[in-house]
Homo-oligomer: A and B are copies of this chain.
Amino acid sequence: MAITLYDLAGAEADRRFSPFCWRTKMALAHKGLEFETVPWRLTEKDKLPQPNAGRVPVIVDGGHVVHDSSTIAEYLESHYSDRPALFGGEAGRALTRFVQNWTETVVHAAVLRFVLLDIHRHIGPVDQTYFRQSREERFGMTIEEFVKDRDQRLPAFRDDLTPLRRTLERQKFLGGGGPVYADYVVFGAFRWARAISNFELLAADDPVAAWRGRMLDLFGGLARKSPAYGS
């Protein structure tokens, strides 16, 4: 029986923009597991299977409900250990956490200041009300103010990608010759932005953009199948 994934959707059911859900979709495909997605909206807390933390991704695999992208990755690695490895052993698993912490504190934090208003534009009216209120409270300013000056912030963001760029200049994936979960973690951030924003994060000749293209090509172009901006 296919795994079910509750996947964050915009006003259009097939516009999937959660960076955390993209991690999970890529991880499921990496393991060669069949899955179907259920579009889920920010305000549909009561439509998730139990247990959950009010957020996606949540997967249902037979009798197991697993939530939180990191927990899901661990679950998939241990329950499907005969399939391609997401981490590649203890060192790989531990170092993946560093990549994840870098992604969340450097990349996500910056991307949010590029695309917050674009997220708002792509969700339905009920979600918009919730989203505006919760984000404006969290950030202490309007969504419009939060993303103002994004053009000026772009060069610093591209500079902050230097460790990623330097790595991908010398190897095809963060995992080396092939992708690992760390690739999906970083890719999630870029796929998130493309889902809802035409603001281009990368210069066309950036090695990171070439890697993003390789990521989009994986698993029969899985990540190209949901609406996105950009090439």
Residues of A within 8 A of B (CB): 85, 87-99, 101-102, 105-106, 162-164, 166-167, 170-171, 173-177, 180, 182
Name the one of B99, B101, B106, B170 contacting A95, with C-beta atoms under 8 angstroms.
Answer: B99
Counted per complex, copies of this chain come to 2
By a CB distance below 8 angstroms, the chain B residues around A162 are 101, 105-106
Chain B residues with Cβ below 8 Å from A171 are 94, 97
Is the pair A164, B98 in contact by a Cβ cutoff of 8 Å?
Answer: yes
Closest 6 CB pairs of A and B: A88-B91, A94-B176, A91-B92, A102-B163, A95-B95, A101-B163
From known contacts A90-B88, A105-B163, A163-B105, infer whether A95 and B96 are also in contact, taking CB-CB under 8 Å. Answer: yes
Is the Cβ of B98 less than 8 Å from the Cβ of A167? yes
Alpha-carbon gap, A87 to B90, bound state (A) = 10
User: Would A95 and B163 be within 8 Å (CB), given that A88-B88, A89-B88 are in contact?
Assistant: no
Chain B residues whose CB sits within 8 angstroms of the CB of A88 once the complex forms: 88-92
| B101 lies within 8 A of A98 (CB) | no
A102: B residues at CB distance < 8 A: 102, 163
What residues of chain B lie closer than 8 Å to A92, measured between beta carbons? 88-89, 91-92, 95
CB neighbours (8 Å) of A101 from chain B are 162-164, 166-167
